[in-house]
């Protein structure tokens, strides 16, 4: 099964991949060559640090290439789900008890970032929201107990 990825998320991952290949990889190769020139590699901390960094970069490049080649890229602008919550939706919620408002965008696992209010499609909140409509109420099991939210608005922002 292909993992869902928004077109915005795919662009961000491609940019990271390009940066790693064109900037970071050459930089670390140069650092390794420079460290080798210092002589004895057994006690050369710069060499070992550069090799470790190279391993990290190569691993991340492989991970990004795999992700992009196995992702199902979904263009949110082409979705026409109306007020129903589906992958890619930006959802405004209001806590039923406190009237506190919060906004989340449902994205793929690899592009989720709670600081930016982008939650993974596999998160409990997303699972509770998928298929619901504006005006519906959902219940989420939070660490502090169950919380009820009303779906105020559903929109699809490209």
**pLDDT score at 74:** 87
Topology of domain 77-155 in CATH is Chitinase A; domain 3 (3.10.50)
Q: Closest by alpha carbon to 129, among 108, 98, 150, 102?
A: 150
Q: Are 70 and 3 in contact (CB under 8 A)?
A: yes
Helix axes 45-69, 7-19, angle to 10 degrees: 150
- Domain 3-74 matches domain 77-155 at the CATH topology level: no
The lowest-confidence range among 23-37, 43-57, 70-84 is 70-84
Confidence bin at 46 (pLDDT 50/70/90) = confident
CA atoms of 112 and 5, how far apart (whole Å): 10
**pLDDT score at 77:** 75
User: Which residue has tokens 């930089």?
Assistant: 27
Q: Are 149 and 137 in contact (CB under 8 A)?
A: yes
Classify domain 3-74 at the CATH class level: mainly alpha
What are the extents of the domains in the chain?
3-74, 77-155
Instruction: Assess whether pLDDT exceeds 90 at residue 117.
Output: yes
User: Which residue has tokens 């970071």?
Assistant: 24
The lowest-confidence range among 3-12, 37-46, 87-96, 135-144 is 37-46
Beta bridge partners of 71: 3
**pLDDT score at 127:** 92
């Amino acid at each position: 099964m292909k993992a869902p990825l928004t077109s915005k998320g795919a662009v961000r991952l491609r940019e990271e991949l390009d940066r790693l290949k064109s900037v970071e990889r050459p930089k670390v190769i140069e650092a390794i060559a420079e460290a080798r020139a210092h002589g004895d590699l057994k006690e050369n901390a710069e060499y070992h640090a550069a090799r470790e960094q190279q391993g990290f970069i190569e691993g991340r490049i492989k991970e990004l290439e795999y992700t992009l080649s196995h992702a199902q890229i979904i263009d949110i602008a082409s979705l026409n789900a109306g007020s129903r919550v589906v992958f890619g939706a930006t959802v405004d919620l209001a806590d039923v008890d406190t009237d506190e408002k919060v906004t989340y965008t449902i994205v793929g696992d690899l592009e989720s970032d709670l600081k930016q209010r982008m939650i993974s499609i596999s998160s409990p909140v997303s699972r509770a929201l998928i298929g619901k409509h504006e005006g519906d109420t959902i219940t989420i099991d939070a660490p502090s107990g169950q919380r009820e939210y009303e779906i105020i608005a559903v929109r699809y922002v490209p």
